[in-house]
Structure formats: structure tokens, C-alpha cells
């Protein structure tokens, strides 16, 4: 199949190597069952699952692009940059990601101290039980612990009450810079993609700055159809892709059958007039 005939690409999801609950093999089988033609596993700040994912894609007859989702601090917000089609073995990518993962352990301990102050004890150890990769302990793992221990009914409630700005378990963090994240991706042969732009609380001016700076650093695509966007946002960010001359990406951001409302490969296709990001990566598809 040539890359231009692909419609059902899912280029954003998470495994137990970051904060998902399925293995790369389970995700590949689920993607296949849902009719996905081209898949990428995009664990947060981590490429440790890439070999397994590529092998599982091959075993399931799926085309594959390497992937990751890098957290970036920009204008007081955390912006997510997806990287696709890079060389996951390249030390520049591996070292960059290792550096950005570094602060997670101390941050998690601080989060637990904040929760202890409001009477929730043992949250660090509790979160660790849900962690597949100790270097990637995240708010999602704390959320699973708080649900399991009966403090909240589901993960959205945990984030609302405990894990967002101003709440007892929230600890701000300095992530990678936009320039570095886009640099690691492009220097290692990949394409950088702004993930779910509809999710950031930016003014129009800040959003314009994000898109402009992203492009100036070598970024080439934006997620238009994602599980984090409303249909109105598909239209809005399709227009941004046209305005900024960016290719478009599509991905569910699937984390878990129990927590994610959007399954692998089930979103609408990209608008026909946009350039799919996988056309820029035809020679990187495995
Ligand atoms: P961290 O990287 O530790 O800041 O954790 C962020 C992760 O938490 C994201 O990757 C999402 O998977 C998850 N997350 C963020 N906000 C929410 C929310 N409001 N409801 C559920 N999950 C969320
Ligand atoms: Mn996540
Ligand atoms: Mn994200
Ligand atoms: Mn994601």
C-alpha cells in the first residue's frame, strides 16, 4: 500500500511504557482489530517501547512510524509535541528524552507530600504500583491510585480536585524547550507535530506565537483530528494547518480501555485537502 492511499492512520497513543495500561503488543492487536492501516506508539518522553511496537505492528500487518510525545514548557503552559518517523536509536533523541524525564521522581515525591497535607497518605507508593516504567511516573498513575483507594470516582474527578494548578497534588515542572524538542525530532530524521492544540489555554496571540515559533524551529505538522478535539476544533485546526502551511495528523491519544473515550482508529478521517503527515514520512514508514 502506498502512503497516499492510507486513511485510517492512528499516530498518537500510550502504552505501559508511559501512562497507558496496555502493552505495545496489545495496542497493535487492538489497532488491527479496529482497521488501523498505519500506527505509531507515542509514549510520553520515552522511546523504550519502540522496538516492541514496530515488531508487533509487523506481526499484525500494520504499517508503522516511530513515535513519542514530548512535554514542552511554552508561555507558562505545558505544550505537547509529537515526534514521528525519527530514528529511535539515535543518541541525540535518547539523551534529550532522558534529560527531560529526570525531574519526575522528585516531582512525584513532592506531589505525594502535597496530598499527605490533605490527609491522603501513601500516594507515592500507591502511584508506583501502577507504574510500568519508574522513570515515567506521572499524574495519571497518581490518579489511578486515588480512584483505586476510593478518594475519587474516576480520573477526571482526580484531576479536577487534586492534580491541576492550585490543587494540593499539583507541582509545576519545567519541561523541555520547544526548540530542543523540535530539534531532537528533526535532527533524527522525523517530523514534529503540535499535539491537540485545542487543549491549551492560550490567547489567540499566544497560540499564534506557538505556531510561528514551532514552524521557525522546523516543525511541520499539527494534529487536526484527535480524541482531545471537538468536531468544531477539527475545522478550526484544519484552518490553522492551511494558514501556516502545516501537514495534518490524526490520532486517538488512546491510554486505556477503561479511561479513554476514544478508541484506536475510530475518529473521522482528515479533511481531503490537507497533506497527511505520513506523506512527508513515506520513506520512514516501516
Ligand atoms: P504528567 O505528565 O505527570 O503531568 O501527567 C499528564 C498526563 O495526565 C497526561 O499525559 C494525560 O494522560 C493525563 N491527564 C492530564 N489531564 C487530565 C485530565 N483532566 N483528566 C484525565 N487525565 C488527564
Ligand atoms: Mn498521558
Ligand atoms: Mn498530550
Ligand atoms: Mn498523549
pLDDT digits (tens, 9 = 90+) for 227-237: 999 999 999 99
Q: Are 188 and 95 in contact (CB under 8 A)?
A: no
What pLDDT, on the 0 to 100 scale, is given for residue 18? 97
pLDDT higher than threshold 90 for residue 13: yes
* Residue 194 three-state SS: strand
What pLDDT, on the 0 to 100 scale, is given for residue 190? 98
Ligand 1: residue whose CA is nearest its atom 11? 140
Question: Exposed, middle or buried by CB within 10 Å (0-12, 13-18, 19+), for 243?
Answer: exposed
Which residue among 139, 146, 227 is best mutated to probe the pocket of ligand 1, counting the most ligand atoms within 8 A of its Cβ? 139
Q: Are 91 and 107 in contact (CB under 8 A)?
A: no
* Arithmetic mean of pLDDT, 51-75: 98
- Ligand 1: list residues with CB < 6 Å: 19, 44, 138-140, 155-156, 159, 255
What pLDDT, on the 0 to 100 scale, is given for residue 262? 97
DSSP E strand boundaries for the chain: 9-10, 38-39, 63-64, 67-74, 77-84, 191-194, 221-226, 247-251
Nearest CA to 23 among 60, 56, 64, 47?
A: 56
pLDDT higher than threshold 70 for residue 1: no
* Arithmetic mean of pLDDT, 75-88: 97
pLDDT one-digit tens code per residue, 162-211: 999 999 999 999 899 999 999 999 999 999 999 999 999 999 999 999 99
Residues 242 and 91: their CA atoms lie apart, in Å, by 34
Half-sphere exposure of 147 (CA within 13 A, CB side): 18
pLDDT higher than threshold 70 for residue 283: yes
From the CA of 253, which ligand is nearest? Answer: 4
pLDDT one-digit tens code per residue, 136-166: 999 999 999 999 999 999 999 999 999 999 9
Find how far residue 74's CA is from the centre of its chain: 16
Length of the chain counted residue by residue: 286
Amino acid at each position: 500500500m502506498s502512503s497516499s492511499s492510507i486513511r485510517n492512520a492512528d499516530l498518537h497513543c500510550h502504552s505501559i511504557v508511559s501512562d497507558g495500561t496496555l502493552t505495545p503488543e496489545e495496542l497493535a492487536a487492538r489497532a488491527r482489530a479496529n482497521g488501523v492501516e498505519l500506527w505509531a506508539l507515542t509514549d510520553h518522553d520515552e522511546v523504550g517501547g519502540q522496538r516492541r511496537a514496530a515488531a508487533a505492528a509487523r506481526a499484525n500487518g500494520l504499517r508503522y512510524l516511530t513515535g513519542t510525545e514530548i512535554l514542552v514548557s511554552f508561555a507558562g503552559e505545558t505544550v505537547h509535541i509529537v515526534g514521528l518517523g525519527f530514528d529511535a536509536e539515535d543518541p541525540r533523541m535518547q539523551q534529550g528524552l532522558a534529560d527531560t524525564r529526570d525531574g519526575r521522581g522528585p516531582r512525584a515525591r513532592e506531589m505525594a507530600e502535597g496530598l499527605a497535607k490533605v490527609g491522603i497518605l501513601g500516594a507515592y507508593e500507591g502511584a508506583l504500583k501502577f507504574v510500568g516504567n519508574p522513570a515515567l511516573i506521572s499524574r495519571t498513575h497518581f490518579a489511578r491510585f486515588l480512584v483505586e483507594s476510593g478518594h475519587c470516582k474516576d480520573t477526571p474527578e482526580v484531576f479536577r480536585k487534586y492534580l491541576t494548578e492550585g490543587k494540593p497534588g499539583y507541582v509545576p515542572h519545567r519541561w523541555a524547550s520547544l526548540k530542543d524538542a523540535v530539534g531532537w525530532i528533526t535532527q533524527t530524521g522525523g517530523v514534529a507535530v503540535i499535539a491537540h492544540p485545542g487543549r491549551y489555554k492560550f490567547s489567540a496571540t499566544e497560540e499564534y506565537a506557538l505556531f510561528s515559533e514551532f514552524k521557525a524551529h522546523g516543525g511541520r505538522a499539527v494534529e487536526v483530528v484527535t480524541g482531545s478535539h471537538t468536531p468544531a476544533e477539527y475545522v478550526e485546526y484544519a484552518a490553522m494547518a492551511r494558514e501556516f502551511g502545516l501537514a495534518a495528523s490524526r490520532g486517538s491519544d488512546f491510554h486505556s480501555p477503561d479511561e479513554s473515550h476514544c478508541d484506536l482508529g475510530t475518529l473521522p478521517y482528515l479533511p481531503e485537502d490537507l497533506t497527511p503527515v505520513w506523506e512527508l514520512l513515506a520513506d520512514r514508514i516501516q
